[in-house]
Amino acid sequence: MLKAKNLSALCQIAEKAAIEAGEYIQSQFDQHYQKEQKTGGDSMASQIVTEVDYKAQEIILQHLNDNIKQYDLGVLTEEASDDASRLEKDYFWCIDPMDGTLAFTEGRTGYAVSIALVAKSGDPLIGVVYLPDLDDVYAAIKGKGLQLNNEVFKRKALDAELLQVYMDRSLLAATYFDSLKKEIQNWAEEKEKELVYQVGYGAVRNAIGVLHSASACYFKFPKDQEGGGSIWDFAATRLFFEELGLIVADSFGKQLHLNNPESSFMNKTGVLYATDSALFDFVIRLGYQFNEL
């Protein structure tokens, strides 16, 4: 079993890995690089990969390889096949070398580096996120709170009059989207909130956006089609929310499990991040109304 001092050391290594990968990513922001289509997932965002993603992954693994051997850790990373080590080892590194690749290729904000250490049980012990365009690093160890740029993260009740709804661009194409918007608008009016939609970021930046909002949510409803994000999209930010006492769950209100043996995709469960219980309950109801299972 990893001890507190081990987790502290591993978190520091993950931070260095994320920052170096992110600095490389940012150096390529307005450069020419090779893009490819990949299989898996059901949206444009999940089917694009660049040489920048692969190089960022290589940088991260160079930092982590020694401790992978030392502590016999598994690895799950977006730009490599799932070797099932996450199901065999007591802990595994869960890596998204660049979440929000589509936003990056379109020359806009919304991308991030995400690294988490997850127990075989599906619970995150370490979470690190680096935002290359802002030079911000978020880091958490289970039970130790969340830090932003090496200082204790304190939520500020900004924009209390707003209801900010973070969603993936793919949701705009859903057949039920107009009905969903109407339900959300009605709820916002009941709560006397001004409704603002935030669309086009990667999953990690969506969750970070909720962290910084007084009243906000980010959700992905369950569906049959493979996709719905993957473990690496949510592993670090789940820990952030738990450390802050905010709500993170699947779309049925159950704990967001991060090591499903059947698939790394989350489409069967969906995901939900929320700042308060009233908003959480409302989105749960929406999930039952609009999920595609």
- Binding-site members are 78, 96, 99, 233
Q: Which helix (H) or strand (E) holds 170?
A: none
Q: What is the DSSP string of 216-238?
A: EEEEE--BSSS-S-BHHHHHHHH
Report the half-sphere exposure of 9 (CA within 13 A, side-chain side): 11
Sequence ranges of the binding site for Mg(2+) = 78, 96, 99, 233
Asked whether the beta carbons of 140 and 240 are under 8 A apart, the reply is yes
Whole-angstrom CA distances from 12 to 6, 138, 199 are 10, 11, 32
Strands 216-220 and 162-167: parallel
Structure tokens of 131? Answer: 């935002």
What gap in Å lies between CA 68 and CA 40, rounded to an integer? 27
Tokens matching residue 104: 């990056």
